[in-house]
């Protein structure tokens, strides 16, 4: 049975949607030739900081978030 599946190349981060037999769990990345893994009911790779593959992005995200929080609290402190 063919179903629409999401595949992700962990090497170059490319995502592809394919109508493919549900038994198929891997594809070959057209870009780098590496194995693409099937995403099963997972949200798209995001910069919400929970992806262990991007620790740098997480740090950045956390810092920015902290700064924003600080600016916000500063503003409300001096407000009115
Ligand atoms: Zn690739």
Residue 32 CA to ligand 1 centre (angstroms)? 4
Neighbours of 8 (CB within 10 A): 19
Report the run of H or E that residue 55 belongs to, with start and end.
helix 55-78
pLDDT of 6-53, one tens digit each?
899 999 999 999 888 878 888 999 999 999 998 876 555 555 656 566
Query: What's the DSSP call for residue 53?
Result: T
Residue 63 CA to ligand 1 centre (angstroms)? 30
pLDDT at 62 (0 to 100):
67
27 within 8 A of 33, measured Cβ to Cβ: no
Confidence band for 1, pLDDT divided at 50, 70 and 90: confident
The torsion defined by the Cα of 37, 40, 24 and 54, in degrees rounded to 10, comes to 0
Confidence band for 71, pLDDT divided at 50, 70 and 90: low
What are the structural domain ranges in the chain?
Answer: 1-40, 47-80
Residue 16 CA to ligand 1 centre (angstroms)? 10
The larger pLDDT score, comparing residue 79 to residue 29, is at 29
């Amino acid at each position: 049975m063919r179903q629409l599946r999401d595949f992700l190349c962990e090497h170059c981060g490319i995502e592809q949607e394919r109508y493919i037999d549900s038994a198929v769990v891997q594809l070959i990345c057209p870009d780098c030739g590496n194995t693409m893994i099937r995403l099963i009911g997972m949200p798209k790779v995001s910069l919400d900081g929970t992806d262990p593959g991007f620790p740098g992005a997480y740090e950045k995200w956390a810092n920015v978030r902290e700064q924003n929080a600080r600016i916000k609290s500063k503003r409300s402190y001096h407000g009115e």
